Amino acid sequence: MRVLVTGAAGFIGFHVARTLMARGDAVTGFDNVNDYYDVGLKEARLAELGALAAAGGDWRFLRADLADRAAVDAAFAEPFERVIHLAAQAGVRYSLENPMAYVASNLVGFTHVLEACRRAGTPHLTFASTSSVYGASTAMPFEESQDAGHPLQFYAATKRANELMAHAYAHLYRLPCTGLRFFTVYGPWGRPDMAPMVFARAIRDGTPLRLFNAGRHSRDFTYIDDIVDGVIRASDRIAAPDPAWDPGAPDPASSEAPFRLYNIGNSAPVELADFIAALERELGRPAVTELLPLQPGDVPDTWADSTRLAEATGWRPAVPVAEGVRRFVAWYRDYGDRDYGDPDTPGLR
């Protein structure tokens, strides 16, 4: 198939593009390669994709910004059988500092993608959402039928808005849309502002790990290979109207329109202390910790109920945290042990 992957220089987008090429799809990547974190890591990912293309993969790359409508429209001059939209301004804490970056990328950029898909008659749009949309809810495990109307930061608000915008297009224009709520993705080639890379660097250097909420977090850490498998399975299964949908008792995760929302998480939350202990074992060094108060916008715990995705696509997470950390540290020793930026606070999205 011809597939557009936005955010192809990013962590998840890179892995998705690589896997699609490996199965024989013609992949077009779209990314502005911004400097939210070290551009060197993004360029290294793109070099890996370029090497796959040189070895026979079908790949082309468009360096452009989603907020540039003309650039998005130009990308759709070639019809795509699937669009996998993974580009976004990421980061929970950064949204407290620079909310306009989230408006440009997550709201304006997503509108441009929706419009381009509508005009092109794209058969299926799959897009990234986040577990952060559950916000103030403490009813766990998080399930897609729950209310998601109380986000705790602007990042989560923009991603929830994406879900609502996609439903409107699915309803008005019958554009099939599937949203995936990611739960704390980790693994090789990960973002340097996310906890695994920050923690690994600190353990390596013997510098303090800054643990907010005194480290009393739990997260549904989900390994990148499992995420990619779920993204591609969801993309392959075109969203369709739910014949059982009841407007008198509406299910927010489905619709009379061709629309679906799915959690995609390991469904096995891990205490942050246990995740750090796994890193310590693999790195062979103890962590030094600094306990700090809960940060504004942080969600203490996450736990995914991914039953709906499993039932719809057959997806099951296959990599437990201990094995995922082992694979991540193996990559980190060979490649990731470079100072890609130096964020002083980890993200746990």
Residues 112, 4: Cα–Cα separation, whole Å: 14
Q: What is the CA radius of gyration of the chain?
A: 19
Catalytic-residue membership of 155: yes
* Structural element, H or E, at residue 3: strand 2-6
- SS3 state at 179: strand
Q: Which residues have C-beta within 8 Å of that of residue 339, sequence separation ≥ 6?
A: 201
Per DSSP bridges, beta strands 270-271 and 218-219 are: antiparallel
Q: Among 94, 134, 155, 262, which one carries the catalytic annotation?
A: 155
* Backbone phi, psi, residue 292, to 5°: -130, 165
DSSP β-bridge partners for residue 223: 186
Max intra-chain CA distance, the chain: 57
Residues 99, 111: Cα–Cα separation, whole Å: 17
Active-site amino acid positions: 155
